[in-house]
Amino acid sequence: MNLLELQDVSYVYSEGTPFEMVALHHVSVGFEKGSITGLIGHTGSGKSTLVQLLNGLLRPKQGKILLDGEDIWAKPKEIRKIRYRVGLVMQYPEYQLFDETVRLDIGYALRNMSLPAEEIAERVEEAAAFVHLDSHLLDQSPFALSGGQKRRAALAGVIAMRPQVLVLDEPAAGLDPIGRSEILGGLRKYQESFGGTVILVSHSMEDMAQYCDRIVAMNHSEVFMTGTVEEVFSHAQELSDIGLDIPSIARIALRLQAAGIPLQGSLYTVSGVREAYLRAIAEARQMKAPSEGGDRRV
Amino acid sequence: MFKDVTLGQYFPGDSVIHRMDPRAKIIASILYIIAVFCARNIISFAALAASALLLILISRISMMTVLRGLKPILFILVFTALINIFLTRSTEEAPLWQANIPVFSWNWQPSIYREGILRAIFTALRVIVLIIGTSIFLTYTTSPITLTDAIEELLSPLKLLHVPVHDFAMMMTIALRFIPTLIEETEKIMNAQKARGADFSNGSLVQRAKALLPVLIPLFVSAFKRAGDLAIAMECRCYRGGEGRTKLHKLEYHFSDFLILFLVVAFMAGIFVINHYNPMGIGI
Q: Residue type at A66?
A: L
In angstroms, how far apart are the furthest CA atoms of chain A?
79
Mean pLDDT of A215-220: 92
Q: Residue type at B247?
A: K
Q: Residue A126: phi, psi to the nearest 5?
A: -60, -45
Q: Give DSSP secondary structure letters for A260-280.
A: T----S--SSHHHHHHHHHHH
Task: Tell whether the model's pLDDT for residue B8 goes beyond 70.
Answer: no
Query: pLDDT per residue over B38-52, tens digit each?
Result: 888 888 899 999 999
CB of A98 within 8 Å of a chain B CB? The answer is yes
Q: Beta strand pairing status for A2-13 and A62-67?
A: antiparallel
Mean of pLDDT over chain A: 88
Label residue A16 left, alpha or beta by phi (over 0 means left) and psi (-120 to 50 means alpha): left
CA A66/CA A60 separation, integer angstroms: 12
Confidence of residue B281 (pLDDT cuts 50, 70, 90): low
Residues A51/A39, Cβ–Cβ less than 8 Å = yes
Query: Bridge partners of A167?
Result: A88, A199
Confidence of residue B1 (pLDDT cuts 50, 70, 90): very low
SS (H, E, C) A70-123: EECCCCHHHHHHHHHHEEEECCCHHHHCCCCCHHHHHCHHHHHCCCCHHHHHHH
Label residue A247 left, alpha or beta by phi (over 0 means left) and psi (-120 to 50 means alpha): beta
Q: How far is B132 from chain A (nearest CA, A)?
A: 19
Q: Provide the 10 A C-beta neighbour count for residue A210.
A: 21
Chain A positions in Cβ-Cβ contact with residue B194 (cut-off 8 Å): 57, 83
Closest by alpha carbon to A101, among A71, A77, A78, A121?
Answer: A121
CA B121/CA B111 separation, integer angstroms: 17
Task: Tell whether the model's pLDDT for residue A294 goes beyond 60.
Answer: no
Per-residue b/e over B21-42, b at no fewer than 16 CB within 10 Å? bbbbbbbbbebbbebbeebbbb
Q: Return the pLDDT at B5.
A: 55
Closest by alpha carbon to B111, among B101, B97, B93?
Answer: B97
Q: Which of A145-149, A257-261, B237-241 shows the highest mean pLDDT?
A: A145-149
Q: Residue B258: phi, psi to the nearest 5?
A: -65, -40
Mean pLDDT of B229-234: 94
CA B41/CA B224 separation, integer angstroms: 51
Task: Tell whether the model's pLDDT for residue A276 goes beyond 60.
Answer: yes
Confidence of residue A297 (pLDDT cuts 50, 70, 90): low
Q: Which helix (H) or strand (E) holds A6?
A: strand A2-13
Q: What share of chain A is helix, strand, coil (3-state, %, to 5)?
A: 45, 20, 35
With CA atoms as reference, the chain B residue closest to A108 would be: B196
Q: How far is B178 from chain A (nearest CA, A)?
A: 17
R_g (Cα) of chain A, nearest Å: 22
Label residue A129 left, alpha or beta by phi (over 0 means left) and psi (-120 to 50 means alpha): alpha
Which residues 180-239 of B have a C-beta within 8 angstroms of A?
Answer: 185, 188-189, 191-199, 213-215, 217-218, 221-222
In angstroms, how far apart are the furthest CA atoms of chain B?
74
Query: pLDDT per residue over A238-268, tens digit each?
Result: 888 888 888 888 888 888 888 888 888 778 8
Q: Provide the 10 A C-beta neighbour count for residue B93.
A: 9
Whole-angstrom CA distances from B11 to B144, B277, B283 are 11, 39, 36
Overall size of chain B counted in residues:
284
Q: Return the pLDDT at B31.
A: 94
Task: Tell whether the model's pLDDT for residue B211 goes beyond 70.
Answer: yes
Q: Residue B282: phi, psi to the nearest 5?
A: -100, 115
Mean pLDDT of B135-155: 87
With CA atoms as reference, the chain A residue closest to B12 would be: A18
Instruction: Give percent of chain A above pLDDT 90.
Output: 43
The interface predicted TM-score (ipTM) is: 0.85
CB of A142 within 8 Å of a chain B CB? The answer is no
Contact across the interface for A112 and B185, Cβ inside 8 Å = no
Listed in sequence order, the DSSP H helices in chain B are 16-19, 22-38, 42-59, 63-70, 74-87, 114-134, 144-155, 165-195, 205-211, 213-236, 255-275
CB of A143 within 8 Å of a chain B CB? The answer is yes
Query: pLDDT per residue over B88-130, tens digit each?
Result: 877 777 777 787 777 787 777 778 888 888 889 999 999 999 9
Which residues 37-56 of A have a C-beta within 8 angstroms of B?
Answer: 52, 55
Residues A166/A147, Cβ–Cβ less than 8 Å = no
Any idea where the domains of chain B sit in the sequence?
Answer: 16-275
Q: Return the pLDDT at B176.
A: 80
Could you give the domains of chain A?
2-244 (3.40.50.300), 247-290 (no CATH)
Mean pLDDT of A110-114: 92
Task: Tell whether the model's pLDDT for residue A172 goes beyond 50.
Answer: yes
Closest by alpha carbon to B168, among B183, B181, B180, B153?
Answer: B153
Per-residue b/e over A190-201, b at no fewer than 16 CB within 10 Å? bbeebebbbbbb
Give burial (CB, 10 Å; 0-12/13-18/19+) of A105. buried
Show Cβ contacts of residue B181 under 8 Å, excluding neighbours closer than 6 positions: B226
Q: Which helix (H) or strand (E) holds A238?
A: helix A236-241
Q: How far is A18 from chain B (nearest CA, A)?
A: 10
Residues B192/A93, Cβ–Cβ less than 8 Å = yes
For A130, the 3-state DSSP assignment is helix
Task: Tell whether the model's pLDDT for residue A298 goes beyond 70.
Answer: no
DSSP conformational letter for B41? B
CA B16/CA B63 separation, integer angstroms: 17
Closest by alpha carbon to B198, among A72, A99, A119?
Answer: A99
Contact across the interface for A98 and B213, Cβ inside 8 Å = yes
With CA atoms as reference, the chain A residue closest to B200 would be: A80
Q: Return the pLDDT at A255.
A: 87
With CA atoms as reference, the chain B residue closest to A99 would be: B214
Chain-centroid distance, C-alpha B74: 13
Query: Bridge partners of A27?
Result: A9
Q: Which member of A80, A95, A99 has the closest CB to residue B197?
A: A80
Chain-centroid distance, C-alpha A32: 13
CB of A115 within 8 Å of a chain B CB? The answer is no
Mean pLDDT of A90-111: 92
Overall size of chain A counted in residues:
298
Q: Which helix (H) or strand (E) holds B157?
A: none
Task: Tell whether the model's pLDDT for residue B85 goes beyond 90.
Answer: no
Show Cβ contacts of residue B228 under 8 Å, excluding neighbours closer than 6 positions: none
